[in-house]
Structure 1
Amino acid sequence: MSTASSAVETPHILRPPYRDEQIDLGKEWDPPELRCGSTTQELGVWGEEVAYRHLRARSIQILERNWRCRRGEIDLICYDPARGSIFACEVKTRRDHGRVPAIESISRAKLARLRQLLAFWISTHNMHAELLEIDVIAITVSADHSWNLCHIEGVL
């Protein structure tokens, strides 16, 4: 089960509007055990699945997952009928160890690179988009296994 915090500081590169959401995907979607043997990769895979389910619950169409080319990777490429836009979604999942929060670990350079990758994806799929947007989903997992999902639309 997830737990939404009451306040999230807005990082210097990402600005509102954003939503902290409390979503319950069931016991089977609790984060991987926070033990020495669990890897960052396992946590990342879990976080991407949570983000995928979050977007699908909002009626957003997932066009690609983990799309890669020589230039880089996009976690999720989506179409939101409500916004009328195709967007790339960067998913960051971190344990809450007091280091840099997940949402603050995404640089402007990374966001700009994602926009270029999205433009390349659109051109290779013979699609047209008037607006190229980047969304960020940041998931922070606490030691007690509660977690917080913060979805920021159109950060760039």
Structure 2
Amino acid sequence: MTRTESRAEIGALGEQLAVEHLMGVGLRVLARNWRCRYGELDVIAADDAARAVVFVEVKTRTTDRFGGVEQAVTPAKVRRLRRLAGLWLAQQGGSWEAVRIDVVRIRIGRRRTPEITHIQAVG
């Protein structure tokens, strides 16, 4: 990883790594970068085993300068994600037994392979 990648490119790489991770743990990706006037949901996935829809916030970092996931996903951020999740669900026809918000943190640049941390049910 060189310093020539833009924030958007780093974010896109992190999101792709997150999607690959989510599929690897058995989730089915329903949508990426869903947007509405109130914001964006990075990844929306189905956990078919739990009959749950999972809204995933992806945080990609190249340094630890801005803190970990705990600092990145504040209670206000979780409230915003819940609101966006509600808007997405209102547009869907299906029903889910559970709704979950997860965070996937991608740390790139420190080691040869990216470090992936998946925290389930943050809100």
TM-score higher than 0.5 here? yes
| TM-score, length-scaled by structure 1 | 0.72
Residue in structure 2 matched with residue 40 of structure 1 by the alignment: 7
Q: Structure 2 unaligned runs (5+)?
A: none
The alpha carbon displacement at 1:108 in A equals 1.1
Q: Structure 1 unaligned runs (5+)?
A: 1-32
Residue in structure 1 matched with residue 42 of structure 2 by the alignment: 75
Count of residue pairs brought into register by the alignment = 122
The alpha carbon displacement at 1:132 in A equals 2.4
Does 126-135 or 58-67 show the bigger shift?
126-135
Answering whether residue 100 of structure 2 is matched by residue 100 of structure 1, we say: no
Larger radius of gyration: 1
The structure whose residues are more often helix, as a share, is 2
The alpha carbon displacement at 1:90 in A equals 0.1
Query: What CA distance in whole angstroms lies between the structure 2 residues aligned with 1:77 and 1:144?
Result: 28
The alpha carbon displacement at 1:145 in A equals 4.2
Query: What CA distance in whole angstroms lies between the structure 2 residues aligned with 1:54 and 1:92?
Result: 13
Residue in structure 2 matched with residue 123 of structure 1 by the alignment: 90
State the Cα deviation string for residues 18-76 of structure 1 (Å, max 9, x = none): xxxxxxxxxxxxxxx222x2111111000000000011112211111000011110000
Equivalent residue in structure 2 for 1:147, among 114, 117, 122: 114
Flag the structure with more relative contact order, 1 or 2, with Cα contacts below 8 A and sequence separation at least 6.
1
| TM-score, length-scaled by structure 2 | 0.89
Equivalent residue in structure 2 for 1:66, among 10, 26, 33: 33
Q: What is the root-mean-square deviation of aligned Cα atoms in Å?
A: 1.5
CA 110–76 in structure 1, closer or farther in 2 if over 3 Å, else same: same
Aligned 8 A contact 1:115 1:132 in 2: no
